[in-house]
Amino acid sequence: MDFEEGEVVFMNKPLDWTSFDVVNKFRYKLSRKLGVKKIKVGHAGTLDPKATGVMILCTGRATKRIDEFQNRTKEYVATLKLGATTPSFDLEKEIDAVYPTEHISSQMVTDTLQKFKGTIEQIPPAFSACNIDGKRAYELARKGKDAPLKPKTLTIDEIELLDYQLPVIKIRVVCSKGTYIRALARDIGQALNSGAHLIALERTRVGEVTLDKCLSPNDIDEFLDNNINTI
């Protein structure tokens, strides 16, 4: 493989790593193996620190393909805790409100999920990288300032209930670029006349790239040893 010319690598992002942590780890090890000071490495589709799963890295000229990969359909398995919300809609922030869940049934959840299938409008989380007048939304949110985010149009191709253990449910979602699963969790909680936040999220597929095709950070050295072109 010619990483300086351009290659595409599939990674499985670990829990509590940022997407940039994965890119930096791969870039550092790659530059050391190649004996170069600089090499271009980018990624297609950021995952939150509390999310795991498929990340696509591009090196060299293959970074021109980042938009192509970002536009591909994504699949997620999300675990939601009903009856409580957090400002970030996941475990990054502490619970700020609690709600009743006694009225919620498995059938109610199944029926409610179907209301999100198709083309929908979604307001992104305040704690997100959305641009607001040249600033990231999370920068404003961390300062306690209101971040007026506009709804975005997106598509949910598939959504289903995988497991129901009230107050915890697990769902599978197949969706378009730009979907915030954290925001979907918020909206599902509201639709159930309760609250909800993510307690786990795994991106299981990007286009045709599935988890079984992905490297863990621990695999990088062996992968590079086996795939760097030698004369």
Active site residues: 48
Phi, psi angle pair for 62, to nearest 5°:
-70, -10
Tokens at 188, concatenated: 């599902």
- Does the N-terminal peptide bond of residue 167 adopt cis geometry, omega within 30 degrees of 0? yes
Phi, psi angle pair for 98, to nearest 5°:
-125, 155
- What is the C-alpha to C-alpha distance for residues 76 and 160, in angstroms, rounded to an integer? 11
Cα-based distances in Å from 168 to 82, 190, 197, 198, 214? 6, 15, 10, 10, 28
